Copies of this chain bind each other. A is one copy, B any other.
Amino acid sequence: MIEDKHQQRTPLSNLGEFGLIDHLTQHFEIKHQSTVKGIGDDAAVVDFEDNQCVITTDLLVEGVHFDLSYAPLKHLGYKSVMVNLSDVYAMNATPKQITVSIAVSNRFPLEALEELYAGINTAAKFYNIDVIGGDTTSSQKGLLISITALGHAKKEDLVYRDGAKDNDLVVLSGDIGAAYLGLQVLERENEVFKVNPNNQPDLSMYTYLVERQLKPEARRDVIKLLNDLDVKPTSMIDVSDGLSSEIIHLCKSSDVGATIYEDKIPLDPTVISTCEEFELDSTTIAMSGGEDYELLFTIQQEDYTKIKANPSLTVIGHITPKNNGIYLVTRGDTKVEIKARGWNSLSEE
C-alpha cells in the first residue's frame, strides 16, 4: 500500500481570521427561536421572554487540560462543549446557546481545526445547542478553547449550590473515578508508545475508562429523570474536580456539614479492577479523580421513595449541621475528614 504523502494541510494563514471563522462555522445551524442573531454581527442576540438565563464559561488549555498525543481533536471538541453543558445542567437549566473561542498556533493546519469543530458540532446537534458566536485568533503556543454556554430556566426551577438543609440526602448520578483512570491508562500507553512507536496499544479492557476521559457526556438524562420523577434537588453541583472538592463546595455554599459513606460510592467494576492493576486506592480515585461530569445533589428525605429504585442515582450520605463537619465514613467505620484534593491546574505539584 502506498502511503499518501499528500495529506491535506492548509496553513491557517491562507484563510485569514474572517475566512477561518466563516469556514469553521458554516455547518452550524440555528435551532432555537430564542436565537435572534447568531454568528455574523458584533454580538449574538438571545431572546429570553420570561425565562432566566444561565451563563457559564470554561477554558481548556493544551498541556494543562488535554494532551493531543492521545486526545483526538474531534473528541476534544465534543468534550469542551460537555464541560460547559454539565455546568448548565447542574443549575437544573436547559443549555441552548454556546460561543466558541479558540487560540491556536500556526502548527495546526486547517484540517485539525475542522476536526475540533466537527466534535463541537456533533455535541451541539446531539444536545440541541446553537453555536452563536466566538473569536478565533492565534496563540504563541498550543491550542486553547474558551466556551461560554447559555442556559434557560424558569426562575422557580433553578437549583443553586446553597440550598442543602440538615437531614437532606446526598445523591450522586452514575459512577465516578473512571475518567481519571482513563487518563492514567492513556498516559501509560503514551509512554509505551514513545519507547516503541510500533507497539499497538490494546485498550479494549479499558474502553469504559477511556471513553469517560475522552468523550464524557453531560447528564441531561439525569435532569430529565429528576423532572419526570417530580424531584427538585435542594442543591446541586457537577462533579468536575472530584467528589471531595464538590461536596466541600456544596456544604460551604449551603452552610452545612455532610457525612458520606465509602461503601455507598458508586464505582464501575472496571474502576475497581484497574485500581488494583495500578495499585491505586479506588476511594481516593473516586474522591479526588475529577472529570466525571456526574451530578452531585441533595434531596429532601421525603423524596427518597421516588428515587430509591433508580440505577442512575445513588444515595451516598446525608447533610448534617455545619459544626458536624464534612466526613467520609470508611468501610472500617472510621470517620475521616474530607479535604479538597481535587484537580488543581495552578498547583506546581
Contacts and interface: CB of A to CB of B under 8 A. Distances in A.
Nearest to A92: B42
Given A49-B50, A55-B97, A345 B138 contact: yes
A106 B151 CA distance: 33
B101 A57 contact: yes
Interface class of chain A by DSSP: mixed
A55 B132 contact: yes
Contact of A140 (B49, B57, B61, B132): B61
A348 B11 contact: yes
Contact of A55 (B16, B87, B133): B133
A79 interface: no
Contacts of A340: 18
Contact of A155 (B47, B86, B102, B348): B47
A61 B103 contact: yes
Interface in A6-64: 11-13, 15-18, 20, 36-37, 40-59, 61-64
Interface in A309-349: 340, 344-349
B253 A41 contact: yes
B20 A346 contact: yes
Contacts of A140: 61-64, 141-142
6 contacts: A15-B346, A17-B345, A43-B56, A59-B102, A136-B346, A141-B142
Contacts of A88: 42-43
A334 B337 CA distance: 79
A47 B345 CA distance: 32
Chain A interface size band reads 35 or more
Contact of A16 (B37, B162, B347): B347
A17 B346 contact: yes
A41 B87 CA distance: 9
A99 B57 contact: yes
B61 A12 contact: no
B61 A346 contact: no
A161 B40 contact: yes
